[in-house]
């Protein structure tokens, strides 16, 4: 009787086959990104409610870390209400770990919701990227409703975010991100994302 356990060679071949999907038109890994307050986590929850594989990647333990820009070493402290602190640190996603997560889910459709300082390194992992955008007024309103110790709730951080929001979004569009108006209620936002994904598959 054949063994139900695959050999190391078989497992390597399967992983190699999945790896070939990265960067191909068959890649069904979808990145949903946007600045804080744009609705990434809310969109992720709605996707899960609809039974899609969706990951709020910034909340996955060990996947992200703040890194000192000068030393490139991880730091454990967090200056949540201090713009100067954020100017000196990057929010880095571990590309290897993220790629492993994506490969484990291939060839199934999967949504990965989050933002990182090293977005340029992460783009090639995904078959499509969606950018959630809202107006400065909506962003302030949403962030102001967060808990006092949540990122973006402090007014100085809101001003800091708005200082680079437009430039960053323009760069994401230049890199090919599909813009989604996240002013809509979350059901319509997800409808638009799904419609765009399904349209790209045909």
Q: What is the dihedral of CA 170, 173, 179, 181, to 10 degrees?
A: 0
Which of these, 59, 34, 30, lies nearest to 182 by C-alpha position? 34
pLDDT of amino acid 8:
32
Q: What would the pLDDT profile of 91-120 be if each residue is shown by its tens digit? A: 999 999 999 999 999 888 999 999 999 999
Which of these, 126, 101, 112, lies nearest to 177 by C-alpha position? 126
Q: Class for domain 22-200, per CATH?
A: alpha beta
Query: Domain ranges in the chain?
Result: 22-200
Q: In the 3-class helix/strand/coil scheme, how is 10-37 assigned residue by residue?
A: HHHHHHHHHHCCCCCCCCCEEEEECCCC
Average pLDDT over residues 191-201: 88
Q: What would the pLDDT profile of 65-88 be if each residue is shown by its tens digit? A: 999 999 999 998 888 789 999 999
Q: What would the pLDDT profile of 174-195 be if each residue is shown by its tens digit? A: 999 999 999 999 999 999 999 9
Separation of alpha carbons 15 and 92, rounded Å: 25
Separation of alpha carbons 113 and 54, rounded Å: 7
Within 8 A by CB and 6+ apart from 176, the residues are 123, 129
pLDDT of amino acid 201:
60
Within 8 A by CB and 6+ apart from 156, the residues are 81, 82, 83
């Amino acid at each position: 009787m054949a063994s139900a356990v695959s050999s190391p060679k078989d497992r390597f071949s399967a992983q190699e086959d999945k790896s070939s999907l990265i960067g191909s038109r068959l890649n069904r890994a979808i990145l949903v990104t946007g600045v804080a307050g744009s609705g990434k986590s809310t969109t992720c929850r709605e996707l899960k409610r609809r039974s899609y594989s969706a990951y709020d990647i910034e909340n996955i333990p060990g996947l992200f870390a703040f890194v000192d820009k000068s030393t490139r070493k991880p730091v454990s402290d967090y200056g949540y209400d201090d713009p100067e602190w954020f100017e000196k640190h990057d929010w880095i996603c571990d590309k290897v770990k993220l790629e492993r997560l994506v490969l484990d889910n291939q060839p199934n459709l999967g949504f990965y919701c989050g933002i990182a300082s090293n977005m340029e390194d992460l783009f090639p992992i995904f078959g499509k990227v969606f950018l959630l955008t809202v107006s400065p007024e909506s962003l302030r309103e949403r962030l102001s409703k967060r808990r006092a110790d949540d990122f973006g709730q402090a007014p100085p951080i809101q001003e800091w975010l708005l200082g680079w929001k437009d430039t960053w979004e323009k760069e994401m569009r230049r890199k090919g991100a599909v813009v989604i108006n996240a002013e809509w209620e979350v059901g319509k936002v997800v409808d638009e994302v799904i419609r765009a994904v399904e349209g790209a598959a045909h």
